[in-house]
Structures are given as structure tokens and as C-alpha cells.
Amino acid sequence: MQNKSTLQEIEERFDKDVERFSNLETGQATMLDSAFNLDLITDCIQQHYPNLSSVLDIGCGAGNYDVKLLSRVTSNPSVHLLDLSQPMLDKAKERVSPLTQGEVKTFKGDFRTVDLVENNYDVIIATAVLHHLRDDNDWETAFVRLHRLLKPGGSIWIFDMIQQNTPKLQEIIYTQRYGNFLIHLKNEEYRDHVFAYIEKEDSPRPLVYQLNLLQQVGFRQVDVLHKNLCMASYVAFK
């Protein structure tokens, strides 16, 4: 863990990548089924919360999920955008502000420590962000905080990289099959590049670990939306 990227290093990488993260058609290309999950999650939120009033997007990037969600809802929710990267926040606010009459506010920093109002959000969106957590204490602290930020009946919607519990399955699903996906996306050099920055920057945990922990910290119900190899989307209700 001591050799993993710092939050500052992660921030600096994303500062340089705003335009790539602004593409609604592809989403984040290295995330399997990225565009599919963008559509799936925002559709589920819209149908589950027809009178949606408040959204928090942690690790919002350039705001793709918020743009897509606001294209579906008519309730003009407030949208709070949180990210380590100021250029990402600037782009997200620029794109989101014209789409709702609700408050659009940005927060720069780590979602575990930024000053946010508890019991305040119908929905929290967390896509491609939790894999930056490190040890068990990090994960528990994060899930406890997210639970406290939600209103009763609120929910968190997650799409992220995961690991397998079984080492051999991790080899097959991640190294072999996800590796082949990256080769087909570009080439072997690109696969090695992606694997290198995942090893340096990310600390994904098994899906079962995360679902169990969500329930342990107080979420009353969890559900899996979609899984493809080492990527999964899932939801937890307070």
C-alpha cells in the first residue's frame, strides 16, 4: 500500500484528462460497459425517485452521470459535485448548471473529509472512485460517511472495478480476459500501460466484501445491478 499513488498524484492525473471524461457515448473507455452503466444507473434513479430533489456525485469527473440523469428528470434537483480535480469540477459545473433550476455547487477534496450536511441527499453517485480507497479502515470510514450523508430512504449508486475473492478467478477474469479487452481496445502496450497505473493507483475490493460492508454499516438493502468481468454496478438503500 505504501507505494500506491497519493491523492495529490491522482488529482494531477485527472487534471490533465478532462475532455476524455466528458464523452457521454463512451464514458470511461477502460471501464467495461461504461456507457451501458451510465444509462442503467440514471434510468434506475429516475424511476425510483420521480420527485428527486438532491444529488451528490462524489468523484464526479466531468459530470457525465449528472448530465445524463438531468436529461431524464423534471424535478430540478440540487446537484452537489465533488472531486479532487478543479478542472473536472469546472467542466462538470459548466455542463450541469444549465440543466436544472436547483442549486449546483462544487466541493473540491476527499469526500470523507469535505464539509457536507448529513441526512441531506436522496441519491449519492459514486462511479470509478471507491477503488482509490486503501485499507479496511478506509473502506469502513467511507461507507459510514456515505450512509450518514443520505436521507432516510436515500441510496448510493456505485459503478467500479472489483476483484474476485478467489486468486485463480482473479487471474482468469482480470489478467486474462480484461487484459484481452484492453488489447482489443488498442494493443498490448496499452494493456500494460493500464495495468501499470491500476497497480500504482487503485485498490479494488471484491464485490461480496463491499456488499457485506454496506450492510454492516447500516444500509438496509443492497442489490447488484450489473457485473461484467472485473466491473460491477450496485446500489444500497438507507
Task: Please report the pLDDT score of residue 115 as a whole number.
Answer: 95
The stretch 230-235 carries a mean pLDDT of: 98
All residues at 6 or more sequence positions from 195 whose CB lies less than 8 Å from its CB, including other chains: 179, 182
Domains assigned to the chain? 7-163+203-237 (3.40.50.150)
Is the pLDDT assigned to residue 26 strictly greater than 80?
no
* Distance from C-alpha of 210 to C-alpha of 134, rounded to nearest angstrom: 13
For the chain, give the mean pLDDT: 90
Q: How confident is the model at residue 11 (pLDDT cuts 50, 70, 90)?
A: very low
pLDDT tens digits for 139-173?
Answer: 999 999 999 999 999 999 999 999 999 999 999 99
pLDDT tens digits for 72-111?
Answer: 999 999 999 999 999 999 999 999 999 999 999 999 999 9
Please give the helix or strand (H or E) that residue 139 lies within, else none. helix 136-149
Is the pLDDT assigned to residue 8 strictly greater than 70?
no
Is the pLDDT assigned to residue 19 strictly greater than 70?
no
Is the pLDDT assigned to residue 197 strictly greater than 90?
no
Task: Please report the pLDDT score of residue 55 as a whole number.
Answer: 98
pLDDT tens digits for 94-105?
Answer: 999 999 999 999
Task: Please report the pLDDT score of residue 12 as a whole number.
Answer: 52
Q: Which residues pair with 157 in a beta bridge?
A: 125, 235
Question: Please, what's the b/e burial string for 204-233 (b: 16 or more CB within 10 A of its CB; e: otherwise)?
Answer: bbebeebbebbeebebeebeeeeebbbbbb
